[in-house]
Structure 1
Amino acid sequence: MHKNVELTSVTKASPDCERASDEGRPTSRITGFHQDEDGHWVVELSCGHSQHLRHQPPWQARPWVLDPAQRAQRIGQAFACGWCAQEADSATLGR
Protein backbone atom coordinates (compact mmCIF):
# COMPACT_ATOMS: atom_id res chain seq x y z
CA MET A 1 0.00 0.00 0.00
CA HIS A 2 1.32 3.44 -0.94
CA LYS A 3 1.52 5.95 1.90
CA ASN A 4 1.13 9.65 1.14
CA VAL A 5 3.86 11.80 2.62
CA GLU A 6 3.24 15.50 3.08
CA LEU A 7 5.32 18.19 4.69
CA THR A 8 4.12 19.01 8.20
CA SER A 9 3.86 22.69 7.31
CA VAL A 10 0.88 21.95 5.07
CA THR A 11 -0.97 19.35 7.12
CA LYS A 12 -2.56 21.51 9.78
CA ALA A 13 -6.23 20.87 10.51
CA SER A 14 -8.56 23.77 9.93
CA PRO A 15 -12.26 24.54 10.32
CA ASP A 16 -12.06 26.12 6.84
CA CYS A 17 -12.21 22.66 5.30
CA GLU A 18 -15.82 21.57 5.59
CA ARG A 19 -17.94 18.91 3.99
CA ALA A 20 -19.69 20.24 0.90
CA SER A 21 -23.42 19.57 1.05
CA ASP A 22 -23.84 18.57 -2.61
CA GLU A 23 -21.04 15.99 -2.92
CA GLY A 24 -20.18 15.25 0.70
CA ARG A 25 -16.49 16.02 0.02
CA PRO A 26 -14.41 18.48 2.01
CA THR A 27 -14.00 21.81 0.24
CA SER A 28 -11.58 24.66 0.86
CA ARG A 29 -10.99 28.00 -0.83
CA ILE A 30 -8.01 28.97 -2.98
CA THR A 31 -5.96 31.56 -1.11
CA GLY A 32 -2.96 31.82 -3.42
CA PHE A 33 -0.35 30.15 -5.60
CA HIS A 34 3.40 29.70 -5.54
CA GLN A 35 5.99 27.81 -7.57
CA ASP A 36 7.96 24.90 -6.16
CA GLU A 37 11.70 24.43 -6.60
CA ASP A 38 11.11 22.85 -10.04
CA GLY A 39 8.92 25.71 -11.27
CA HIS A 40 5.61 23.82 -10.98
CA TRP A 41 2.60 25.77 -9.73
CA VAL A 42 1.14 24.90 -6.34
CA VAL A 43 -2.29 26.03 -5.11
CA GLU A 44 -2.49 27.23 -1.48
CA LEU A 45 -5.76 26.41 0.29
CA SER A 46 -7.66 27.93 3.21
CA CYS A 47 -7.43 24.62 5.11
CA GLY A 48 -3.63 24.93 5.18
CA HIS A 49 -2.98 22.23 2.60
CA SER A 50 -1.46 22.68 -0.85
CA GLN A 51 -1.62 20.80 -4.13
CA HIS A 52 0.39 20.87 -7.34
CA LEU A 53 -1.51 22.08 -10.41
CA ARG A 54 0.54 21.11 -13.43
CA HIS A 55 -0.13 21.78 -17.08
CA GLN A 56 1.36 18.73 -18.81
CA PRO A 57 -0.77 17.86 -21.84
CA PRO A 58 -2.19 15.40 -22.66
CA TRP A 59 -2.24 14.05 -19.08
CA GLN A 60 -3.03 17.29 -17.27
CA ALA A 61 -4.59 20.14 -19.23
CA ARG A 62 -4.57 23.25 -17.07
CA PRO A 63 -3.32 26.04 -19.34
CA TRP A 64 -4.89 28.63 -17.02
CA VAL A 65 -2.30 27.87 -14.33
CA LEU A 66 0.42 29.38 -16.57
CA ASP A 67 -1.43 32.72 -16.88
CA PRO A 68 -1.09 35.15 -13.93
CA ALA A 69 -4.46 36.82 -14.64
CA GLN A 70 -6.30 33.49 -14.80
CA ARG A 71 -4.66 32.32 -11.56
CA ALA A 72 -5.71 35.56 -9.86
CA GLN A 73 -9.33 35.04 -11.00
CA ARG A 74 -9.43 31.73 -9.12
CA ILE A 75 -8.47 33.20 -5.73
CA GLY A 76 -11.41 32.64 -3.38
CA GLN A 77 -12.98 29.87 -5.46
CA ALA A 78 -13.96 26.54 -3.90
CA PHE A 79 -11.45 23.71 -4.28
CA ALA A 80 -11.93 20.06 -3.29
CA CYS A 81 -8.99 19.34 -0.98
CA GLY A 82 -7.73 15.80 -1.52
CA TRP A 83 -5.80 15.79 1.78
CA CYS A 84 -8.88 16.74 3.80
CA ALA A 85 -10.93 14.16 1.88
CA GLN A 86 -8.45 11.42 2.82
CA GLU A 87 -8.64 12.42 6.48
CA ALA A 88 -12.45 12.47 6.37
CA ASP A 89 -12.55 9.07 4.68
CA SER A 90 -10.11 7.64 7.21
CA ALA A 91 -12.19 9.01 10.09
CA THR A 92 -15.25 7.10 8.90
CA LEU A 93 -13.48 3.74 8.47
CA GLY A 94 -13.66 2.86 12.16
CA ARG A 95 -17.44 3.19 12.36
Structure 2
Amino acid sequence: MHKNEERTSLNKDLPESEQNPDGRGRSTASYIVAFHQDDSAHWVAELSCGHTQHLRHQPPWQSRAWVLDPQQRSEKIGQRFACGWCAQAHE
Protein backbone atom coordinates (compact mmCIF):
# COMPACT_ATOMS: atom_id res chain seq x y z
CA MET A 1 0.00 0.00 0.00
CA HIS A 2 1.36 3.42 -0.96
CA LYS A 3 1.05 6.28 1.54
CA ASN A 4 0.26 9.69 0.04
CA GLU A 5 2.05 12.58 1.67
CA GLU A 6 0.05 15.82 1.39
CA ARG A 7 1.66 19.24 1.35
CA THR A 8 0.48 22.79 0.77
CA SER A 9 0.08 23.24 -2.98
CA LEU A 10 2.56 25.57 -4.63
CA ASN A 11 3.15 26.29 -8.26
CA LYS A 12 6.61 27.77 -8.74
CA ASP A 13 5.95 28.51 -12.41
CA LEU A 14 3.41 31.22 -11.67
CA PRO A 15 4.44 34.75 -10.65
CA GLU A 16 1.59 34.83 -8.12
CA SER A 17 3.48 32.24 -6.05
CA GLU A 18 7.04 33.57 -6.30
CA GLN A 19 9.07 34.10 -3.16
CA ASN A 20 9.92 37.69 -2.32
CA PRO A 21 13.56 38.57 -3.03
CA ASP A 22 13.65 41.02 -0.10
CA GLY A 23 13.51 38.18 2.42
CA ARG A 24 9.99 38.73 3.78
CA GLY A 25 8.27 35.68 5.15
CA ARG A 26 10.59 33.75 7.42
CA SER A 27 7.76 32.41 9.61
CA THR A 28 5.24 29.71 8.72
CA ALA A 29 2.63 31.46 10.90
CA SER A 30 1.00 33.87 8.47
CA TYR A 31 -2.49 35.24 8.02
CA ILE A 32 -4.57 36.31 5.04
CA VAL A 33 -4.45 40.07 4.44
CA ALA A 34 -6.29 40.31 1.08
CA PHE A 35 -7.38 38.50 -2.07
CA HIS A 36 -6.98 39.23 -5.75
CA GLN A 37 -7.70 37.37 -8.98
CA ASP A 38 -4.96 36.27 -11.36
CA ASP A 39 -5.12 36.52 -15.16
CA SER A 40 -7.12 33.26 -15.28
CA ALA A 41 -9.69 34.58 -12.75
CA HIS A 42 -8.46 32.23 -9.99
CA TRP A 43 -8.46 33.65 -6.47
CA VAL A 44 -5.10 34.30 -4.83
CA ALA A 45 -4.65 34.93 -1.10
CA GLU A 46 -2.14 37.62 -0.14
CA LEU A 47 -0.39 36.60 3.08
CA SER A 48 1.11 38.67 5.88
CA CYS A 49 4.53 37.12 5.22
CA GLY A 50 4.52 38.66 1.73
CA HIS A 51 3.88 35.42 -0.16
CA THR A 52 0.75 34.46 -2.09
CA GLN A 53 -1.27 31.26 -2.44
CA HIS A 54 -3.84 30.24 -5.03
CA LEU A 55 -7.12 29.11 -3.45
CA ARG A 56 -9.19 27.29 -6.04
CA HIS A 57 -12.56 25.59 -5.83
CA GLN A 58 -12.17 22.57 -8.13
CA PRO A 59 -14.20 19.67 -6.72
CA PRO A 60 -13.49 16.90 -6.01
CA TRP A 61 -9.78 17.79 -5.72
CA GLN A 62 -10.11 21.12 -3.93
CA SER A 63 -13.33 22.00 -2.14
CA ARG A 64 -13.28 25.69 -1.30
CA ALA A 65 -16.71 26.96 -2.33
CA TRP A 66 -16.27 29.87 0.10
CA VAL A 67 -13.65 31.44 -2.20
CA LEU A 68 -16.37 32.12 -4.80
CA ASP A 69 -18.55 34.12 -2.39
CA PRO A 70 -17.40 37.71 -1.65
CA GLN A 71 -18.79 37.74 1.90
CA GLN A 72 -17.29 34.38 2.85
CA ARG A 73 -13.97 35.40 1.29
CA SER A 74 -13.87 38.63 3.30
CA GLU A 75 -14.54 36.64 6.50
CA LYS A 76 -11.25 34.78 5.89
CA ILE A 77 -9.19 37.99 6.03
CA GLY A 78 -7.19 37.98 9.24
CA GLN A 79 -7.32 34.20 9.66
CA ARG A 80 -4.12 32.20 10.12
CA PHE A 81 -2.75 30.46 7.07
CA ALA A 82 0.17 28.02 6.84
CA CYS A 83 2.46 29.42 4.16
CA GLY A 84 4.05 26.69 2.04
CA TRP A 85 6.93 28.93 0.96
CA CYS A 86 7.84 29.79 4.54
CA ALA A 87 7.59 26.11 5.55
CA GLN A 88 10.05 25.18 2.78
CA ALA A 89 12.51 27.78 4.04
CA HIS A 90 12.50 26.07 7.46
CA GLU A 91 13.07 22.51 6.18
Could you say which residue in structure 1 is the equivalent of 2:73?
71
Matches within 5 A, 1:1-95: 4-5=12-13, 7=15, 10-12=18-20, 13-14=23-24, 17-18=26-27, 26-89=28-91
Return 5+ residue gaps in structure 2 as ranges. Answer: 1-11
The structure, 1 or 2, with the larger RCO (C-alpha pairs under 8 Å, 6+ apart) is: 2
Contact 2:31–2:47 (CA under 8 A) maintained in structure 1:
yes
Match of 1:44, SS state, is strand
TM-score by length of 2: 0.76
Q: What is the count of residue pairs matched by the alignment?
A: 79
How big is each residue's C-alpha offset from its partner over 1:34-70, in whole Å with a ceiling of 9 and x where there is no partner? 0000000000001110010000000000000000001
CA–CA separation in structure 2 for the residues paired with 1:73 and 1:8: 22
CA contact (8 A) 2:29 2:82 kept: yes
Structure number with higher helix proportion: 1
Which of 1 and 2 has greater Rg? 1
Q: 1:8 to 1:54 in 2, by over 3 A?
A: closer
Aligned to 1:22: none
Q: What runs of 5+ residues in structure 1 fail to find an aligned partner? A: 19-25, 90-95
* Poorly superposed stretches of 4+, deviation over 6 Å: none
SS at the partner of 1:30?
A: strand
